[in-house]
Amino acid sequence: MATIAQGTTRTKPDHVRKTERGEAVTFLEAISEGLFEEMERDPRVFILGEDVGVYGGAFKLTRGFSDYFGRERVIDTPISEAGFTGAAAGAAHMGMRPVVEMQFMDFIAPAYDVITNYIATSLWRDAGPMPLVIRGPVGGGSRSGAFHAQNVEMAFFHTPGLKIVYPSNPYDAKGLIKAAIRDDNPVIFEEHKGLYRAPHLRQVLPHEDYIVPLGQARTAREGKDLTIVTYGMMVHKSLEAAATLEKEDGLAVEILDLRSLLPLDEDAIVASVQKTSRVLIVHEDTRTGGIAGEIALRINEKAFAWLDAPILRVTAIDSPIPYAPTLEDYVLPQTADILTAARYLARY
Amino acid sequence: MAKRTVAPDSELVAGLTRRQLQEIYYYLALARAAEERLEILFRQGHVHGGLYRSLGQEGESVACAYALRPRTDGTGDLIAPLIRNTGAIFVMGGTPLEYFRQYLARGAGPSRGRETNIHFTDFARGIIGPVSPLGTMMEVLAGAMLACRMRGEDRVGMIWCGDGQTSTGAWHEGINFAAVQRCPVVVVIEANRWAFSTPTALQTRAKQFVDKAVGYGIAGERVDGNDVIATYEAARRAVDRARAGEGPTLLEAETYRLRGHAQHDAQDYVPADELEQAQARDPVELFRKRLLAAAWATSAELAAVHGRVAREVEQAAQQAVADPYPEAEEACAGIYTDVEIRPPWTRLEAPDPARA
């Protein structure tokens, strides 16, 4: 391992030194820090993706990494999502721990074959573990059209062998990316681009090394009247709705931030349902075949008798994500939709 | 009987000694005998999935693999074989017992009964088993060799691709990645004229597969895959280039698939005269004649090889047939390293409505 090449500078990029200096970091900087720390910690970790090296990635998340770690560990690939994801699988076979960047997660589609048929089955086929992470920006609201705005979790959710992570804040994002890199299973890591640089989400993170374990939900807000099960950007829309519901309706809404979608923290969901007996599931992804269907059925299996109302969901409309602000806002779930559904449930 | 005029360890042809030439013949005979024995097991109902013969292609498979450096401790060269690379698997150290157990879905088989035919992996001996969307294997081998190159290991990876595989997008992305990153890879195109029932002319407009090397900016070579010595020499050159850091080679090995795609395929789409001509160029038979003609082996030596092969194959076949299937509950073990997948509770106990 000692033979792995180093970069041309030993100066860490500025945007991964904020926690060191005690400054608050954005969601994007938190992921950069996590990635950078894991690369320093473990020479087996390396990055592959389009424009990740010299340019530093479309969102500049890996800016300065190639100068520090060298071109060998931050590899600018040909435009070939299947090719470099497959190559990551081969490297994982040889004991490396690759982190694949999809420039936009929409572009993961060409790699669907290798991810589901090869990577997800490797351990089960007795071909060894696949310690790799496939990460990248997802989500709408940034007026980028149908091919730079999708959520991809449900394309992979039903594939045994994969893990799926979808953080909502800097602390979790850093802890989860580090846990994902250390995980011996393949992890799909979704980063909502609307969270990347949101100034109000900045957090001061712990100086010491920490991880957030995969597969564990987090209670983002305590409440007794109603549970909202959600993740990613929708955690923030749900928090906004919960504040209104408290002020205007006197409702104490509990918000469960799933953080990991696969494995799903069924125990946390059931515990919250048993506490509030009313459930709203909110996701930005489209409706049909969305994760709300699976969550609702799990509640049905495990906590049916605790329910005082039907399970509802707020989701995107079953439509590609449009470009025009009027159209996109119409298709994506909004805080107002959450308010309407929550009020219906509370009255039921 | 030919007189021995040289010491047994002198190089006779292509840098190969008498012992090595006879060892190549052993692997050819072993591959053929194992597959013939498997055909009997298939007819007896012991094989549950398809059976894929490499009849007619054993020459290029064994000769190419023989140019590699096999090890048993995970430090040697790597291969990504196809269904018609029984011979290459044996060269790397795979055994007829593993081969039979895998095909017979036995619990002690290399994939513990989970996967079909030669879909098994053994990193100790450098075997990366395929998945059925074969183009993927080009990407995976490129990445495995990228990792070796990053760590300064002088290992080489060899992949076999059918002519059909070269049409996939995955294959293109994989070989292009290997080319750009100068991965130490040898890409053997088994040009056997058929992809299931589709002839080469419906697969590509390229006059020959080796022309594709130009497009990727890598070395290319074309060889008569049924000529064991010529194929070995070409593979050796490709392996040496890869080990010297000169990147991938596309090696087209012209051969012919003498059977249908699988046992269920009567190959009635194959012109009879074409098949007849190809049968006359059986690589094992050509090599046997050459060994004898050049006095690289005696008839007695080759008879001894066949005796050894027959014993090994029969013993392995009997052992595999006697082995048990895996326990049903084993099916979902090892989907994750750390998450247990359990059957639904309705499988374990009668649902109790009072519990809900």
Q: How far is CA B221 from CA A44, B161, B211, B227, in A?
A: 35, 15, 9, 14
* Residue B355 distance to chain A (closest CA, Å): 9
What are the φ and ψ backbone dihedral angles of B185, each rounded to 5 degrees?
-130, 140
| Same domain? A166 vs A267 | no
Predicted local distance difference test score (pLDDT) of residue A7? 85
**What pLDDT sits at residue B353?**
62
Crossing angle between the packed helical segments B283-293 and B58-66, to the nearest 10 degrees: 60
Percent of chain A whose predicted confidence (pLDDT) is above 70: 99
Domain regions of chain B by residue span: 11-263+270-355
Residues from chain B contacting residue A110 (CB–CB below 8 Å): 169
Strand order in the sheet with A218-221: A218-221, A253-257, A226-230, A279-286, A312-316
Q: Are A135 and A254 members of one domain?
A: no
- Domain membership of residue A206 (yes or no) is no
A259-273 pLDDT, tens digit each:
999 999 999 999 999
Report yes or no: A86 at the B interface, CB cutoff 8 Å: yes
Q: Does B168 touch chain A (CB under 8 A)?
A: no
Per-residue pLDDT, A3: 45
Q: Quick one: closest CA in B to A115, which residue?
A: B136
Residues A97 and A164 in one domain: yes
Q: Is the pLDDT of residue A221 over 50?
A: yes
| B11-263+270-355 classified as CATH 3.40.50.970 | yes
The CATH number covering residue A70 comes to: 3.40.50.970
At B8 the pLDDT is 65
Evaluate if residue A1 carries a pLDDT over 60: no
On whether residue A113 sits in a domain, the answer given is yes
Task: For B170-206, write each residue's pLDDT tens digit.
Answer: 999 999 999 999 999 999 999 999 999 999 999 999 9
pLDDT 10s digits, A20-46: 999 999 999 999 999 999 999 999 999
8 Å CB contact between A55 and A98: no
- Annotated catalytic residue A148: yes
Mean pLDDT of chain A: 97
The mean per-residue pLDDT over the stretch A283-290 comes to 98
CATH number at residue A281: 3.40.50.920
Does A47 share its domain with A144? yes
A262 and A142 in a common domain? no
The total domain count for chain A is 2
Cα separation, B159 vs B185, in Å, equals 8
CB A284 within 8 A of CB A250: no
Q: Does A208 map to a domain? A: no
8 Å CB contact between A301 and A201: no
Same domain (yes/no): A252, A173: no
A240 and A162 part of one domain: no
Q: Mark yes or no for CB contact A124/B121 under 8 Å.
A: no
* pLDDT (mean) for A124-153: 97
Amino acid B315: pLDDT = 98
Same domain? For A188 and A320 the reply is no
Q: How confident is chain B (356 residues) per 10-residue block, as mean pLDDT?
A: 63 95 98 98 95 96 98 97 97 98 96 93 96 96 97 97 96 98 98 95 96 98 98 98 98 96 94 96 98 98 98 98 95 94 76 58
Q: Which residues of B touch A75 (CB under 8 A)?
A: 181
Is the Cβ of B110 closer than 8 Å to some Cβ of chain A? yes
Q: What is the pLDDT of residue B351?
A: 58
Per-residue pLDDT averaged across A120-125, rounded?
97
Q: What ipTM is given for this predicted complex?
A: 0.94
Same domain, A176 and A243: no
By C-alpha distance, which of A173, A174, A201, A131 is closest to A34? A174
Say whether both A195 and A222 belong to one domain: no
Position A305 in a domain: yes
Query: Which residue range is the domain that position A269 belongs to?
Result: 218-347
